[in-house]
Amino acid sequence: MVTLLIILSITIILFIWGKFPPDVVALISMITLFLTGILTAEEALSGFSNATVIMIAALFIIGEGLSRTGWTALAGQRFVNWAEKSIPKLLVIVTLGSGILSGFVSNTGTVAALLPVTVSAAWSAGTLPSKLLMPVAFGSNTGGLLTLTGTPPNIIASNALVEKGLEGFSFFEFALIGIPLLLITIFYFRYIGYRLLPSHETQERPADIDAEMHKWIENYSIGDNLYRLRIRSMSPLINTKIGDWNFEDEHHVSVMRLKRRHPSRLQQRVPLFVELPDPDTEMRYHDIITVKGAPEDVDKLVLKFALGVIPNPAEMDDLKNELITQEVGMAEMFIAPNSVLVGRVINLGHYLKQTGVQLLAASRDNRPLSGRIKMEAGDAFVIRGTWENIENLQSLYENLVISGRPEALSKDVSALNAKSYIAMGTLVLMILLLVFNVLPGAMAALICAGIMMITRCVPIAKAYKGISWTSVVMIAAMIPMGLALQKTGAAQMAADGLVSALGSVHPTALLAGIFLLTTAFSQTINNSATAVLMAPIAFIAASSLGVSPKPYLITVAVSASTAFLTPVGTTTNAMVLTAGGYTFLDYVKVGGPLLLLFFIATLVLVPLIWSF
């Protein structure tokens, strides 16, 4: 037992020191437990097969799916709009949102879904992610106390009553203490915690597609020479294919987009928007085609094919929606001196062969180019194509520089499409599976993550990149520490000593002792394991005093969810660790006062709601 306590102490010191990555510290701790003989190899590695760890990895994929299909960008925009650029309001919104959602979804699922939203909203509001992510994690921990299924300790506490032949807690009974504690969390971060939250610069700022569009519009005059034309009833283009007319070579005009305004019953399978029309795309009466070309060339096109001219979008958002979707994006490309493209003559608006990427606009020496140009080293282009083709462009043409971070920009598109609703439906399915306990949590998350990949909401190649492996490895490697504390009897001995010391003083004193011991365990032990350990001890203590066990079991559930002092105490804390750039001491500094408020509120409210 002494060896275990030394290992635990050194592990905590290394976490606080911050010299090594937290996942490396956790792995060192896990290996040391095996080498000292405290745990067997199977026990030391048990965390990597733990259902919670598998569920967390799956939830990251689900969160990536929501991000790639526009929901996180849209939610981030809504958060900012509701907050009206007020950071305190935004803080309240994300804390309240995470709390309410975690009452019905797992805490880890809540944070996985809101983490990218919050990061995006933080930058949009002019603050740092470190000012918002810890409130999301703590809010989700607290929100789990709103319902019986909100967090595992609630179920464990209720089952402790049922196993003894008593009536368990009802589904919303936990809300009697959960709502006040969630309000305390919100007001704490609004008026106190915000001043304590660190301002850590993270390595990479999320892409802002609006800012990029502003830059491109200004530097490249993208909106110039862009026209929307309606196919009239007398047009010879009706019921023909784009490839039949050779628009680029004969008319020096490129067709960029087609909108089907009034599809007939026979055309219902034709998408309303063809973002990148190909030669086989058919044109129908009343279609709107977006073209790019010189004004004189477009005028000739209008006269020859009996087309109507529709005013160009004046607002930047309208222009962005005209050019960018979840599938089709834009980026900036620079020509290096040794590129095979140097010397090639091409009309702007034409597509690079074999890539499906369009040269939308060009600039040379910071001056926009137009018409037919001969490529030179140093030329800059704004290109348009599918996000995947843009990412693959450098592998097809050497000596090109692609900026604009296409993969990051694709996640900042807030326009929704069919995949967006598939992703949201998948999230709803996971919620239903968890709320009604149809499947174990890990299986429900894995199935939904599989749906995300099969439906291409998350490309399979990108799914693993969306997982925060630092968080996953750290959690898996720390689970054996909780097992060691229980296996050696260290946890049981501490609990028994507390009960014998405080049980005869007063029921409230014992309540305080159970809270403090449980929250101490929860800082390093999984909250479920903590609740399993403390629930029977709390029940026995209440029985020996001849009082109701309900207030003590409620206290176990509450205090098991107060792992505010360490990044390893709960998975939600670990999930925001890297994204927020937090250190071990940040959790102590911000979580300490909140833990004290929870302690006081529990001692006051629990005896009033559930009498001894």
**Model pLDDT for residues 223-282, shown as the tens digit of each residue:** 677 888 999 989 999 999 998 988 888 888 888 888 886 555 444 444 567 778 888 889
- Indicate whether 217 belongs to any domain: no
Last residue within a domain, chosen from 340, 375, 409? 409
String of DSSP letters for 431-499:
HHHHHTT-S-HHHHHHHHHHHHHHTTSS-HHHHGGGS-HHHHHHHHHHHHHHHHHHHTTHHHHHHHHHH
Please report the pLDDT score of residue 86 as a whole number: 81
Q: Give the span between the Cα atoms of 335 and 327, in whole angstroms.
A: 25
Please report the pLDDT score of residue 206 as a whole number: 55
- Indicate whether 422 belongs to any domain: no
Closest CA to 405 of 204, 600, 257, 125: 204
11 and 134 both lie in a single domain: yes
**Residue 497 pLDDT > 90:** no
Domain range enclosing 377: 328-409
Please report the pLDDT score of residue 220 as a whole number: 79
Last residue within a domain, chosen from 285, 311, 337? 311
590 and 518 both lie in a single domain: yes
Of 35-49, 430-444, 560-574, which range is least confident?
A: 430-444
**Residue 56 pLDDT > 80:** no
Please report the pLDDT score of residue 587 as a whole number: 92
Last residue within a domain, chosen from 279, 311, 343? 311
338 and 287 both lie in a single domain: no
Of 198-202, 524-528, 569-573, which range is least confident?
A: 524-528
Of residues 550 and 496, more confidently modeled: 550
- Indicate whether 347 belongs to any domain: yes
Average pLDDT, the chain: 81
- Measured at the CA of 502, the angle between CA 593 and CA 142, to 5 degrees, comes to 35
Q: What pLDDT, in 10s, does the model give residues 74-117?
A: 766 677 678 777 888 888 988 988 888 777 666 776 776 677 77
How confident is the model over 454-473, as a mean pLDDT?
Answer: 80
349 and 257 both lie in a single domain: no
- Domain of 340, CATH number, reads 3.30.70.1450
Question: Domains in the chain: how many in total?
Answer: 3
- Indicate whether 394 belongs to any domain: yes
Please report the pLDDT score of residue 184 as a whole number: 95
Please report the pLDDT score of residue 582 as a whole number: 87
163 and 22 both lie in a single domain: yes
Please report the pLDDT score of residue 188 as a whole number: 95
Please report the pLDDT score of residue 236 as a whole number: 94
Please report the pLDDT score of residue 16 as a whole number: 63
Please report the pLDDT score of residue 265 as a whole number: 46
Of residues 555 and 1, more confidently modeled: 555
This prediction has a pTM of 0.64
178 and 282 both lie in a single domain: no
**Residue 120 pLDDT > 50:** yes
27 and 121 both lie in a single domain: yes
77 and 182 both lie in a single domain: yes
- Indicate whether 55 belongs to any domain: no
Phi first, then psi, for residue 119 (nearest 5°) are: -60, -45
105 and 246 both lie in a single domain: no
Residues 6 or more apart whose Cβ sits within 8 Å of residue 435 = 104, 149
Q: What pLDDT, in 10s, does the model give residues 424-450?
A: 899 888 878 877 778 887 888 899 999
96 and 179 both lie in a single domain: yes
Q: How many Cα neighbours within 13 Å face the side chain of 150?
A: 30
- Indicate whether 212 belongs to any domain: no
Q: What pLDDT, in 10s, does the model give residues 359-372?
A: 888 888 888 887 77
Please report the pLDDT score of residue 306 as a whole number: 92
Q: Give the span between the Cα atoms of 413 and 406, in whole angstroms.
A: 11
**Residue 592 pLDDT > 90:** yes
30 and 177 both lie in a single domain: yes
Q: What pLDDT, in 10s, does the model give residues 356-406?
A: 788 888 888 888 887 778 888 888 888 888 877 887 786 777 778 887 566
- Indicate whether 53 belongs to any domain: no
Please report the pLDDT score of residue 316 as a whole number: 60
Of 286-295, 402-411, 580-589, which range is least confident?
A: 402-411
Q: Give the span between the Cα atoms of 160 and 176, in whole angstroms.
A: 19
Going by pLDDT thresholds of 50, 70 and 90, the confidence category of residue 412 is: low
DSSP-derived secondary structure letter, 583:
-
Q: Give the span between the Cα atoms of 545 and 543, in whole angstroms.
A: 5
- Indicate whether 358 belongs to any domain: yes
168 and 267 both lie in a single domain: no
Of residues 551 and 391, more confidently modeled: 551
Q: Is 196 exposed, middle or buried (0-12, 13-18, 19+ CB in 10 A)?
A: middle
